[in-house]
Structure 1
């Protein structure tokens, strides 16, 4: 995937009165010093980030969240599997390739926040986001497929070469919503039907993701059945999410069967150890902890919940301790710009040894230099941001408390008007929502 961040100037226009949170409600928040900030401050910052994100990246008719503020390909191109006139069946670079991912992660984070401290701002936007995911699913040409898209100008235009992340995020987000206090009986019926359709389609193709014809496998639609650590947790979490969203005994029985298979191998693979690996791709790394976080909340207390709890913290610690750049990231970086960044940010050597170091070397001025701003945003913002997202998803108090001041500092210090990547913007909102939830939980 092409990972490029362009610098643009963004004028934030607050136009949607539904999203304005009540000052009266805010004044009722108890002022209590927690870490380096008050409860009032975390409410203000979280809602401000969300409000800005929605105004920039969310379609105001469908409430679907997109990757960009501009669409680089036409609806007609999308229908032909093209991006700007060139073949790209999975839509990378189109601006609509990650709608279920971004929209779903936002819903999961807002539900987490709402559970800990309900607010009309959250309630309104949770309902909007649920309806957005519903539209995404309904744009599919067949039942059981979560597409990439749809295009905002034509809701029938979507990419059917979908992926693991689009499908799983839809499953977890909708299941989490179905199990919240906000879901109506009608909402639950739609979720039960759609999740059952997705589950049956995945199962019919050995838990792989196929084109509508059922023959061609999608670009990143590999089977989840192999006994491998990442696939073991993925399969168990997904089947359990389907069960929680449908309430069908069939899916619970299948969950137990898959967990018991081959002498409980999948559960053994979920236990921490050297066999656990976290993706080198910054976009994929935090996705695992999102789905495990939902799985953790769904599971009843007991040994299985403890296994997932340990895995969440283990994954986060791996990511936080990871150096930058790795070999994978170097493929997407300009050597000259990287050299300039090392000098400007005063790196001590050729790498940043971990996420904390990457963040501590950030200065706002790094985003002002057009030659290095994109590289600086990746190295000093997006890289540690993903780690902090995983830390918050871990639900591990000691780990969160260790990084909480850095997380808060990042939310306040980075000028997002100098970063155009929708992925970074949505993660700021998601991280703020999970931090909000943590503060009001504790």
Structure 2
């Protein structure tokens, strides 16, 4: 897990070469020190550890990363100039540093294998002069979890519904417009949980989401806090959700109803506005869609908007993540009031749930998703994992409907823990 602050940035040797298509990336992950960021078969997997930095925030992590990049020696094939190639760090950050026992940080792996747009690369970091490392190869299929049982989290179902009712009352009093309330669920297996199994199952089932594994945080998020590439920033905002039935005709009607729901449209509007306001100071041009579209996932339907922006020179993905977090999609509006109400009502340490998770490279490009549809593996008991889900509460929210929505959002992790091949 994330350790102590690295006092100074070391000088690193970095070498990137083009490689043949390696096949399924997740199959190459080792049992320990594994990192992953994959979507639709592309992305990066990594292992080993050269250096890590315990950060107080994405902004502070950006300062450390800039120093590390400046002091590193990098050699790359000319035809591997792709985002994520070369020196790269994976990271995850807590939702609220004032209300958690967890820590944030970046980790620089020893070996990274990536694929994007039909091209693949291998990056080795921290090499000594003349050093060679074994080529990655697929190992045995990791074991599926067995005998998983689920226990209630910090609040009972009745207590959580009551918290939603209190939040609606606070909104009705005019103290805030929206707040996001999370709930947790603890899963325990008969033996050690292998995160590679969870990454594999999530990636197969939710190929349109970003599946990640960073320091015991594992999940598959549909929400991109910010992606930065070649000066273009994109933020995928999700707010407004309905559970699918599995019947195509019924789900089509549900999608139409979702796109007309005043409650869900209101919730979505707050989330989009908060992202646009946070991006504006860093941009020369900003495009905010007038209306959301319906994003179809295997378990739920979401209202979604892709906000895009042309950023000013020198702006980095980590810097944008610092400005955007926490958005109204995971906190509420106004931010400070919502965060205080979350601390008062949830009775829950979110840790890195709903915080930024992803990667950055030496150019400042990167992808930082919001850690949703996820679980955090227990550091002391490798059989246990704590799952999280949350719902946006506005004036029209109904506690029973919000409970059902939270249950639907737990489905990806519950499925990965209980499905066998």
> Bigger relative contact order, structure 1 or 2, given CA contacts below 8 A and separation 6+?
2
Q: TM-score, normalised by structure 1?
A: 0.26
**Greater fraction helix:** 1
Q: TM-score, normalised by structure 2?
A: 0.26
